[in-house]
Chain A
Amino acid sequence: MYSIGESVKKFVEYIAIAVIILITWSVLERFGIINSITLPAPETIIKTCVENIKNGRLFNNLAISMVRVVKGYCLAAVLGISFGILLGFYRRLNYMTDLIVQIIKPIPPIAWIPLAIIWFGIGEMSKVFLIFLGGFFTILVNVIDGIHQVDGALVEVSDIMETPRYKHILYLVLPSALPNIFTGLRTGLGSCWMCVVAAELVAATSGIGYMISNARQFSKTDVVIVGMLAIGVSGKIMDSILKTVERRVIKWN
């Protein structure tokens, strides 16, 4: 553990560059080097942020987007892990589905927007579907990889003991795949945030993405930036939560 002085020093180091950028930015604004419509000053952004918190617009929109992300992400996590385990264990099935997975995987979820709207309308379903697509393949591929990467030396040990299949899977293969599964869950969460904004930019009347695209039409760049930061901060918080869970689960490292 660090001492208090040490922690303060660490924290200062952590935020130093961000603070320097903010100060430079603010100074440049003051001297009129940066146009305040192209890029509003930090003070303006903070003011807009407070305003939007006070009138509830920021949190309302954020909550709506958050619910969508959580829905799509949970669906992606559950199905990604389940199918990942299935395909990880049955190599033949993995081989048979590989072509389809490899072709669909590189298609960015944004390209799915037209189809999603035609299939599910402009309601919640189409957004959840797009978010699901964003997370699903990342999680799926990582789970399969994790299962395939189980250490052959440990498998040999397990074989020598005539270990029953369920125990082999539960206590050897799955724990050894856990680091990869968490990598999938964390990168998958990032893609889910990207998708929700893309979906809301195109067809929505609420959500952070809508807030951004609406503000753009009125050239309110300060609101655009507040929306962007809200997404960044939410993503960081959710990732930290996952990281904590990961540390709790993978406690042997």
Chain B
Amino acid sequence: MELDKADQPYLIIKNLNKHFDNAGSRMTVLKNINLTVEKSEFICIVGGSGCGKSTLLRAIAGIEPSFEGSICIEGQKISFPRKDRGMVFQEHRLFPWLTAEDNVAYALNGITKAEKKKLAKSYLELVGLRGFEKSYPRQLSGGMAQRCCIARALVNQPSLLLLDEPFGALDTFTKMQMQNELLAIKKKSGSTMILVTHDIEEAVFLADRVVVLSPRPGMIKRIIKIELAYPKDRNDYEFNRLRKKVYDELFDVHEAAVDYVI
């Protein structure tokens, strides 16, 4: 019997393993990853550096060539990049020789120049970069460059947006502002989002579910559901309880294990 497409989860990762071979020795980066993501869900993947979280994201994007297991989006197996999946990296990766507008327009193909310009303009406006269309990347601040990247990733209206530590290089205030804006963009666009971070607060603030990865080899330790009402309050008791829950899981802290020695 054929399954109805609507009943299937949006993204299914099955038994994913990834090794890197170098100089004869084999290093396992990701081990036995199984994950399903629903349409329009916001997933945050947290883990220490080198746990393979970026590799997992790159595999979903289709730019990590060889791995064991399968990744399916709406029933289709992933083996190469598609513009239906947008990606934002930690470094802005804008083309220095193109203006903000042309950087966004570069992502568009198969439509007229005027249409490209119009779309690029409207997406720059969406991320709050109105008036900076003609600026070159070097003239943009870190936060503005990252906004421009988000516009570039969104302009093809991807059903899935992948974000690899997108706010990692920003200062705390800019970061919080960008997180709020990302949630607003998500509400407008309805895209499914997967964000990789090592910032626990960021994960709890953004995600519907937080996936905690263990250190090398990266395995899913636990998936923590974040059931908080929007807008989330960073100082709320429940918010901080969930933050501690992610923290404890990440650093193997077990409750009631406190010894007093005098």
Kindly state the separation between the CA atoms of A114 and B138 in the bound complex, as whole angstroms: 52
Hey, which chain B residues are within 8 Å of A161, CB to CB? Answer: 81, 83, 106-107, 109, 156
Q: Which B68-120 residues sit within 8 Å CB-CB of chain A?
A: 81-83, 85-87, 89, 91, 93, 95-98, 106-107, 109
Kindly state the separation between the CA atoms of A172 and B97 in the bound complex, as whole angstroms: 9
Q: Once the chains bind, are B81 and A159 in contact (CB under 8 Å)?
A: yes
Kindly state the separation between the CA atoms of A164 and B108 in the bound complex, as whole angstroms: 10
Query: Does any Cβ of B come within 8 Å of A252's Cβ?
Result: yes
Q: Once the chains bind, are B82 and A157 in contact (CB under 8 Å)?
A: no
Determine how close the nearest CB of chain B comes to the CB of A24; give it in whole angstroms: 45
Kindly state the separation between the CA atoms of A150 and B192 in the bound complex, as whole angstroms: 32
Determine how close the nearest CB of chain A comes to the CB of B63; give it in whole angstroms: 6
Kindly state the separation between the CA atoms of A154 and B85 in the bound complex, as whole angstroms: 16
Kindly state the separation between the CA atoms of A162 and B106 in the bound complex, as whole angstroms: 11
Determine how close the nearest CB of chain B comes to the CB of A245; give it in whole angstroms: 16
Determine how close the nearest CB of chain B comes to the CB of A69; give it in whole angstroms: 30
Taking a contact as CB atoms closer than 8 A, the residue among A153, A162, A167 that contacts B81 in the complex is A162
Q: Which A156-184 residues sit within 8 Å CB-CB of chain B?
A: 156-164, 167, 171-172, 175-176, 178
Q: Once the chains bind, are A156 and B83 in contact (CB under 8 Å)?
A: no
Query: Does any Cβ of A come within 8 Å of B136's Cβ?
Result: yes
Number of interface residues of A (CB under 8 A): 20
Query: Does any Cβ of B come within 8 Å of A253's Cβ?
Result: yes
Q: Once the chains bind, are B109 and A164 in contact (CB under 8 Å)?
A: yes
Query: Does any Cβ of A come within 8 Å of B203's Cβ?
Result: no
Q: Once the chains bind, are A160 and B85 in contact (CB under 8 Å)?
A: yes
Q: Once the chains bind, are A157 and B93 in contact (CB under 8 Å)?
A: yes
Q: Once the chains bind, are B89 and A171 in contact (CB under 8 Å)?
A: no
Query: Does any Cβ of A come within 8 Å of B211's Cβ?
Result: no
Interface centre among B85, B97, B136 (most CB of A within 10 A): B97
Q: Once the chains bind, are A175 and B95 in contact (CB under 8 Å)?
A: yes
Query: Chain A contact residues: over half helix, strand or loop, or mixed?
Result: helix
A160-B86 contact given A167-B109, A171-B106, A252-B136, CB 8 Å threshold: yes
Taking a contact as CB atoms closer than 8 A, the residue among B87, B95, B137, B156 that contacts A172 in the complex is B95
Query: Does any Cβ of A come within 8 Å of B61's Cβ?
Result: yes
Determine how close the nearest CB of chain B comes to the CB of A250; give it in whole angstroms: 8
Hey, which chain B residues are within 8 Å of A253, CB to CB? Answer: 96, 138
Kindly state the separation between the CA atoms of A158 and B108 in the bound complex, as whole angstroms: 11
Kindly state the separation between the CA atoms of A172 and B102 in the bound complex, as whole angstroms: 12
Determine how close the nearest CB of chain B comes to the CB of A170; give it in whole angstroms: 11
Specify the chain A residue showing the minimal Cβ separation from B82. Answer: A162
Hey, which chain B residues are within 8 Å of A163, CB to CB? Answer: 106, 109
Residue-wise, chain A 239-253 has the 8 Å CB interface mask toward B (1 for contact) of: 000000000001011
Taking a contact as CB atoms closer than 8 A, the residue among B81, B93, B107, B109 that contacts A154 in the complex is B93
Q: Once the chains bind, are A171 and B82 in contact (CB under 8 Å)?
A: no
Kindly state the separation between the CA atoms of A164 and B82 in the bound complex, as whole angstroms: 12
Kindly state the separation between the CA atoms of A175 and B95 in the bound complex, as whole angstroms: 9
Q: Once the chains bind, are B89 and A153 in contact (CB under 8 Å)?
A: yes
Kindly state the separation between the CA atoms of A250 and B62 in the bound complex, as whole angstroms: 33
Determine how close the nearest CB of chain B comes to the CB of A29; give it in whole angstroms: 52
Hey, which chain B residues are within 8 Å of A158, CB to CB? Answer: 106
Hey, which chain B residues are within 8 Å of A250, CB to CB? Answer: 97
Specify the chain A residue showing the minimal Cβ separation from B86. Answer: A160
Determine how close the nearest CB of chain A comes to the CB of B93; give it in whole angstroms: 5
Residue-wise, chain A 136-165 has the 8 Å CB interface mask toward B (1 for contact) of: 000000000000000001101111111110
Kindly state the separation between the CA atoms of A162 and B156 in the bound complex, as whole angstroms: 11
Determine how close the nearest CB of chain A comes to the CB of B174; give it in whole angstroms: 22
Determine how close the nearest CB of chain B comes to the CB of A180; give it in whole angstroms: 14
Kindly state the separation between the CA atoms of A153 and B93 in the bound complex, as whole angstroms: 7
Q: Once the chains bind, are B87 and A160 in contact (CB under 8 Å)?
A: yes
24 interchain pairs (CB within 8 A)? A153-B91, A153-B93, A156-B63, A157-B87, A158-B106, A159-B63, A160-B61, A160-B63, A160-B81, A161-B106, A161-B107, A161-B156, A163-B109, A164-B109, A171-B95, A171-B98, A171-B106, A172-B95, A175-B97, A250-B97, A252-B97, A252-B137, A252-B138, A253-B96
Given A160-B85, A162-B109, A163-B109, 20 other A-B residues pairs in contact with their CB atoms under 8 A:
A153-B93, A154-B93, A156-B63, A156-B93, A157-B87, A157-B89, A159-B63, A160-B87, A161-B81, A161-B83, A161-B107, A164-B109, A167-B106, A171-B95, A171-B98, A171-B106, A250-B97, A252-B97, A252-B98, A252-B136
Report, nearest first, the 9 A-B pairs whose CB atoms are least far apart: A175-B97, A252-B97, A162-B83, A160-B81, A161-B107, A252-B96, A252-B136, A157-B93, A161-B83
